[in-house]
Amino acid sequence: MSRRVLVLNGPNLGRLGSREPDVYGSTSYAGLVEACGTLGKELGLDVEVRETNDEGEMIRWLHEAADHAIPVVLNPGAFTHYSYGMRDAAAQRTAPLVEVHISNPYTREAFRHTSVVAAVASGTVAGFGIGSYRLALRALVEELDA
């Protein structure tokens, strides 16, 4: 039986592959979806990948995850640094939640050094490109199996 996992992506992540490839790599959003689905199957997970530019939609997805004890891999994008509404929704989690970033925020602009989500996440994986998602999915499995 596979376990359901949501991989939630915030603003501009649907533009992967064309958005600042020197920072975010050349993998497209479709490539990210495929990579998460493929690894998910190997790990016994039913992975659903979503992307939104809308803060309210992200909050509703986090409520859905909390209401149904669904583990989450969350790349909040720019919401990372200021969305207290999203942070409060993530704090209601009832299953592991791993924050993920493609780039390493600490090597970038100073405003990116603060995450309002980190304190309510199970952990954070950052700086490994699309591989950050693979590491986050593996971390979720370890959390679920613990």
| Domain chopping of the chain, boundaries | 3-145
Residues making up the annotated binding site are 75, 81, 88, 102-103, 112
User: Which class is domain 3-145?
Assistant: alpha beta
pTM, 2 dp: 0.89
Predicted pLDDT of residue 79: 86
68 assigned to active site: no
Q: For residue 71, give both structure tokens.
A: 């583990």
Predicted pLDDT of residue 12: 77
Residues making up the annotated binding site for substrate are 75, 81, 88, 102-103, 112
Which residue among the candidates 68, 84, 101, 133 is catalytic per the annotation? 101
pLDDT in tens for each of the 146 residues of the chain?
569 999 999 987 876 666 655 655 557 788 899 999 999 999 999 999 999 999 999 999 999 999 999 999 999 988 888 899 999 999 999 999 999 998 887 767 776 668 899 999 999 999 999 999 999 999 999 999 98
101 assigned to active site: yes
